[in-house]
Structures are given as structure tokens and as C-alpha cells.
Amino acid sequence: MAETIEKAPPKTASPEPGTGYLGRTLLVGETVYLRAGEKADAKYSVSLRNALYPVSPERTEEWLKEQLAEERPGSNQRYVIVRKADDVIVGSLRTEAENWVNFWINGSVDPLYGERGQQWEAEALILLIDYLVEERQRPAISLELPVTKSIVIDALLRHGAVQAACFRESWLVDGVYVDRILLQQFNTGWVESVGDPMTTPLERTGTGMPRPVPPKVTPIPVVPKNATMLGKRVYLRPLIPEQDAAEEAKWARKETETFFDIGRHLPSTGGMAHWYRDLEKKELPEWINLAVCLRENDLYIGNVMLITPDYVNKRAETGSWFFRHDYRGNGYGSEAKHLLLEYAFEVLGFHMLHSWVYFPNTRSAAALRKQGYTEAGRACWMYPFEAGLSHFVVFDLLREEWRNMPRKEWE
């Protein structure tokens, strides 16, 4: 009987350049397609990350592993932008979910591609936005772009996005500060159901007129221990994790106001102390949190903060929280906030600051206007509220504006 020789299966030919997207991705446009990121993409490290300080493909592979480990399909995920003509990665986009209501998109195409790159970026963004809004049924998509990306912005506006806000001089492009545009695209079904969020009236309180900045305090012989910034009645100091966390947790149990945030919080001493310690581990912290203390007795009454400071574009979000409700309404918060502004503008050299306030919190919005902030617009459908979706009113303040405000003792 003759021996049967088994033939090896024929080799599968590699896909031709420009066909890599076939059968491998949902999101295909005219010139680019999107797919999930993979470790092998690290060889395109510069286009993939588009970082100010580029890193090697080896480090990018480690970074990708970290990113992929944190991904949650359909919410927090990175997509690579691939050119159809030759399957070359030209950029990437990342989605981040907030309360599963609003989805943020960030990322870009390698700027070395110039105007062509902006066209690819616009196409990729429209692919992803349509996927999230039409197929994933998300109510709102948000993204921020420098005004210099006019090709991308114009394409998104034509596609149905709206300009919700404009933060002045908050993006450094070629050595010049330019405006940062907040664009939002809303699910038309949600708009038909609950109304256009851009037309929601914003209640205002207060006069809206800026108040003079208290003059700089001359140092005294005895400076409060660990003071960072010194005012007439209050000073700022670094947090003492265990001690300050215990004080905040104690007063949180006594809180009666709900308008500062969407309801009250019940933090634990251990959880807050751990977070405060983590904030100090980086030389350039991701959150600068300073304790507000009374000069007369060193009593700790609240915090002021710079949230996610951007050390390249010289900007940060400002915030404050005064847990000692028995000291609210006496001007301590305004004085502490001006110390924070002085710290951000004069010590750190930041160029602009911005702040986000819940629509119902008219008291905080009025305080920002008194401190010299300008209303920059709104950010819609950011959180659930009263059986619906509600918004932030957003503000900005430039360093020169703050410097030019009159200095005068408060009466």
C-alpha cells in the first residue's frame, strides 16, 4: 500500500498594504480607520503619543501595557488612527467616561503631517463621535482643541457639534498662547426628549462686579509654621495627611449643605490621608491641595486647590472647599482664593486659570465673578441631577487681568 503524504496547508498571504482594515475594525472612513491599540503599535511611538518629550518604542510598549490594563471597552479606551493607503499609524484618540453620561475624547494626529493631519484627525473624530452617539447611545461627547486646529474645528461644527465654551489663551502653540475651544456633540434623541442643553437658562446671583484684591501682606517677625502664602487673616500651608484628613472627615459628618456638589460626601480618614500622601509623591503633582488656616489660632478651616495643573501650557483649574461651615460667609474663602491666585500666577508662573461650577451653585459662581473671573461658556450634560442631566458654567482668568485688578483693603 502506497504511503500517503500529507501536504502542508498553503501559506496565507500577508494583506496587501492599504487592506489592513478589512475585516478587522468597525470604524472605517475615506482616508483613515480606527482600531483598538495593541502592544505592537509601539514602533510608531512618536505619532502614537505625540508627547512634548518623546520616548523610545520600548518605553512606549510599557506605556501601552499600562494603558491596556486600565482599559474598559466602551468607556475608557485608546483607539489608533491608521492611514488606509498604507496602514501607517498617524495618531491616536482616547475616550474617558464621566458617569456614563458625558464622554471625553482626547488625542491627536502627529503635527508633522500639517493640514493633511488635521483632515485625518477630523475624519477620525467624526467616526468615533458617530459611533459613541449613534451606536453606543451616549448623550454627549466633549473635546477640547486649540483654535489653531481650524480645519478640525470647522469639520466638527459642520457635522453638528457646537462650541460650548472658549477658554482664553490656554494652549501654548509655537510659543504663543491661543484660545482653547470646548466642542460638544449631543445625541439628537436626547435633545428631542429633554431639550437643547445650550438653551438652559443660567441663574445668577450677586452683582457680577470684581472686588479689589487685598494688598500683599508684609512679613511679620513670627511667620506661621509651614506657611506657603500669607494673608491678613488666613494663610496657606501644605496638608498634614493624617491630621487634616481626620479633621475633614469629622466635619463632613456634620455637613448640611448639598449645593456645593451633587450631594454630600462621607470620606474616611484613612482614604483621604492615603490620597494626600499620594499627591506629594510626584515632583510635579497632579493636584496641588493647600490647607487654609486662621492666622490667629492656626485653625484649619478648608482647602484651596489647583486641579490637574498643566505645567507646559501653564494653566490649571481652581477649586476650594471649606468644610468648617461655622466659618463660611465671613470673607475667609475670598482671601484664601486670592492667595491661591497669587501662588499660581506669581510663584508657579501660570498664564491662565479656569474654574467649573455646577449650575445650581450660584453662590460659588458669584464668588468667582467677584474674584475677577470671566464667564467662558458652559459644559452641558455632565452629571445626573433632579431626574435629568445638568451642566457646568465655566470661567477663566488671565494672569495680566489679575495683576491689573486694583489692590485695596476690604472694608
In a shared domain, residues 33 and 164:
yes
- Residue 140: pLDDT band by 50, 70, 90 thresholds? very high
In a shared domain, residues 97 and 177:
yes
150-159 vs 114-130: helix crossing angle, rounded to 10 = 30
CATH number (domain holding residue 86): 3.40.630.30
Within-domain flag for 207: no
Within-domain flag for 11: no
Within-domain flag for 206: no
In a shared domain, residues 392 and 255:
yes
**What is the rounded distance in angstroms from the CA atom of residue 8 to the CA atom of residue 307?**
62
Yes or no: say if 146 and 178 are a contact pair by the CB < 8 Å rule: yes
Mean local confidence (pLDDT), 379-389: 88
> How many separate domains does the chain show?
2
DSSP element (H, E) containing 397: strand 388-398
DSSP element (H, E) containing 402: helix 399-404
- Residue 66: pLDDT band by 50, 70, 90 thresholds? confident
In a shared domain, residues 195 and 240:
no
Largest CA distance in the chain: 112
Top pLDDT among 45 and 345 is at: 345
Within-domain flag for 215: no
pLDDT, averaged across the chain: 89
Mean local confidence (pLDDT), 11-39: 72
Residues spanned by the domain of 88: 27-199
- The torsion angles phi and psi of 95, rounded to 5 degrees, stand at -105, 145
Whether the predicted pLDDT of 17 surpasses 80:
no
How are beta strands 388-398 and 176-186 bridged, if at all?
unpaired
Cα torsion angle, 147, 151, 155, 156, sign: negative
pLDDT for 14 equals 40
Q: Determine the Cα angle at 158 with ends 95 and 27, to 5°.
A: 40
Torsion of CA 72, 74, 80, 86, to 10 degrees: 130
